[in-house]
Homo-oligomer: A and B are copies of this chain.
Amino acid sequence: MSQPDTKVKILDVAEKLFAADGFHATSLRAITSNAGVNLVAVNYHFGSKEELLEAVIERRLTPLNRRRAEMLDAELAAAEAEGRRPDPRQVLRALVEPTIELREQGEGPEHFITLVGRILADPRGVGRDIFLRRMEPFILRLFETMHQALPHLSFSTLSWRMHFAVGSLSHVMRCHDRCQDLPPGILPGMKMVRLADLLLDYTLAGMEAPE
């Protein structure tokens, strides 16, 4: 290839702009000019604007879910080897920690997380099917495993609480260093490695609350 990174440059800029402004508010002209490539490179390399979005999601989400599945497998194997139930904290960690780790890997992943938050808030947007299709296998396994870990909870209560937990995670993930939902200065800076523990403490307490 003469300019081997044209696709990568497009993906990087598209990820950033889709996250910042949304799919419809981001034009291909804005993407290609910021990436320093020709306008039609998107249609040439990806086919259409929508397929570009799919490629943006695909690039980060596939490795992320692979990492999550590995952590879930590890906890399930450990639990079986030791003849105990899965530890709910470890199960939740398989969802939370790879997400936070990804977010720490640089600007690109950070924009991707913001983009996911936007997709979750879009009840019938173009990215929703693309995203959920790739999430469904892990989500189903996560539910089964949490049900094993907290068998005293009714399935209804567990479902709602998982729902609340996903809300907390996606909300905190899409906020930046200083969360923009809150008046300035109200969220002091905090190392992300501690944020995972903070979120797990909070979520686990809610999960295990009396029914």
- Interface residues in chain A, defined as those with a beta carbon under 8 Å from any beta carbon in chain B: 19-22, 24-25, 114, 117-118, 120-125, 128, 132, 136, 139-140, 143, 155-157, 159-161, 163-172, 174-176, 179-183, 186-188, 190, 195, 198-199, 201-211
Contact = CB atoms under 8 A, between A and B. Distances in A.
9 closest A-B pairs by beta carbon, nearest first, are A167-B171, A121-B121, A205-B209, A202-B206, A164-B168, A206-B206, A167-B168, A24-B24, A24-B25
Given A188-B159, A195-B160, A205-B209, A174 B117 contact: no
A182 to B, nearest CB: 7
B22 A125 contact: yes
A210 to B, nearest CB: 8
A24 to B, nearest CB: 4
Contacts of A136: 183
Chain A interface mostly helix, strand, loop or mixed? helix
26 contacts: A20-B124, A22-B24, A22-B122, A22-B125, A24-B24, A117-B121, A118-B121, A120-B181, A121-B122, A132-B181, A143-B186, A155-B188, A157-B198, A159-B186, A160-B187, A160-B198, A160-B199, A163-B175, A164-B202, A167-B172, A168-B168, A170-B171, A202-B206, A204-B209, A205-B206, A206-B206
Nearest to A185: B159
A20 B91 CA distance: 33
A111 to B, nearest CB: 10
